Amino acid sequence: MKKVVVVGSLNMDLVMEVNRIPKIGETIKGDEMSYLIGGKGSNQAVAACRLGNEVSMIGCVGKDTFGDKILKHLKEEGVNVNGIKSDEATFTGIATIFKTKNDNSIVVIPGANDFCDKNLIDENIETIKSADILVTQLEIPMETVEYALKVAKENGVKTILNPAPAREISKEILKNADFITPNETEFEIISNKTFKDGNELEEAMIAWQNENPSTRLVVTRGKDGSSYVEENKVETMKTIKVDVVDTTGAGDTFNGALAHGVSHNLLMNEAVTFAGTAASLSVTKFGAQTGMPKFEEVNKILNVK
């Protein structure tokens, strides 16, 4: 069993089901309201855990009802929560999700996630040192992301950076990220370019990869699959066809599953295909974590040993 450490955000997701996203200044009637455990860190930890990995989560919640529910849920999923700090000085992070039939829009209030600092990394440094791979995102302070990647890299731990929500990324962060996994929109921000079509996207991917050879770029492209650069050429692993119920958490499932594939030393095409298949399966149920598959479900399709 491989050891995965996730450093990142923990939120309570308030999901509002609507027919369409409201315009600025407009009030519309919603259909249903759900309270679900979320946050990119939490989602990626659950995704990796369901695939049969030993997962430890490092992050912060508030000392409140939402925080208690998140800790209870993660324990039930099998995630080690010893690295999660309950802070009395703030509230648990909240994400408000407007969910339509085919897509969603999200507003995140970080709360306790902003208290996930370098000291918390130091307090859990032995957990990081003993891991096979570390996964992090950008819903916690950037200096914490940078420090966590640095500590992991210095101790021979592989690293994945999911650059979401997209921000400008320092060279120091890239130096310590073995893999970076933006979607198409996030890659536009990272590369400071816009793409009219898939050809322009792929040209930009090749250029970016040549400029940053130590960080492996993987761009998730929704129903079009996931792409990476191999020998100055873009390779795209197609997705499986599924009935889409809810796309929330698909990217997080991809990252948790990629951590599984990389830590198990799968070839690049195998790891990306494994991650894409897990992500596809995850959108067949409502909720960011509800549809995240177990290893047996992915293996049934791919026959990965």
Q: How many domains does the chain have?
A: 1
- Provide the CATH number for the domain around residue 238: 3.40.1190.20
Amino acid 239: pLDDT: 86
Calpha distance 150→298 (Å, rounded): 32
Q: Which domain holds residue 137?
A: 3-21+31-294
Would 210 be classed as within a structural domain? yes
| Mean pLDDT calculated for residue range 269-287 | 91
Q: What is the mean pLDDT of residues 123-138?
A: 98
pLDDT at 290 over 80: yes
* Any domain includes 305: no
300 is a domain residue: no
Res 305: pLDDT:
53
Does residue 57 lie in a domain region?
yes
Q: What predicted TM-score, i.e. pTM, was given to this entire model?
A: 0.92
Q: Which pLDDT score, from 0 to 100, does residue 304 have?
A: 58
Q: From the CB of residue 293, how many other CB atoms can be counted at a distance below 10 Å?
A: 23
Q: Does a structural domain hold residue 67? A: yes
In this predicted structure, which of 42-51, 80-89, 190-199 has the lowest mean pLDDT? 190-199
| Closest among 119, 50, 75, 78 to 296, alpha carbons compared | 50
C-alpha span between 209 and 230 (Å, rounded):
9
Lowest mean pLDDT among 20-24, 114-118, 140-144, 175-179: 20-24
Examine residue 304 and state whether it is found in any structural domain, yes or no: no
Q: Is residue 42 part of a domain?
A: yes
Distance between CA atoms of 164 and 185, rounded to whole angstroms? 10
pLDDT higher than 80, residue 207: yes
Lowest mean pLDDT among 46-55, 103-112, 226-235, 260-269: 103-112
- Between 108 and 10, name the one with better pLDDT: 10
pLDDT tens digits along 13-63? 898 999 998 899 999 999 999 898 999 999 999 999 999 999 999 999 999
Is 271 domain-assigned? yes
Close Cβ partners of 235 (under 8 Å, ≥ 6 residues apart): 227, 228, 229, 268, 269
Provide mean pLDDT across the span 63-70.
97
Rounded Cα distance, 45 and 80, in Å:
9
| Mean pLDDT calculated for residue range 160-177 | 92
Which listed residue (64, 87, 178, 252) is catalytic? 252
* Interior/surface letters 104-130, b for 16+ CB within 10 angstroms, e for the rest: beeebebbbbbbbbeebbeebeebbee
Q: Quick one: pLDDT band at residue 100, thresholds 50, 70, 90?
A: confident
Q: What is the mean pLDDT of the chain?
A: 93
Residue appearing with tokens 């890239």: 174
Q: Highest mean pLDDT: which of 8-22, 142-156, 227-241?
A: 142-156
Model confidence at 99, pLDDT cuts 50, 70, 90, reads: confident
Q: Are strands 11-17 and 32-38 parallel, antiparallel or unpaired?
A: antiparallel
Cis amide bond preceding 22, omega within 30:
no
Answer yes or no: is pLDDT of 246 > 90: no
Q: Is 64 a catalytic residue?
A: no
Q: How confident is the model at residue 285 (pLDDT cuts 50, 70, 90)?
A: confident
> What is the predicted pLDDT for the residue at 108?
84
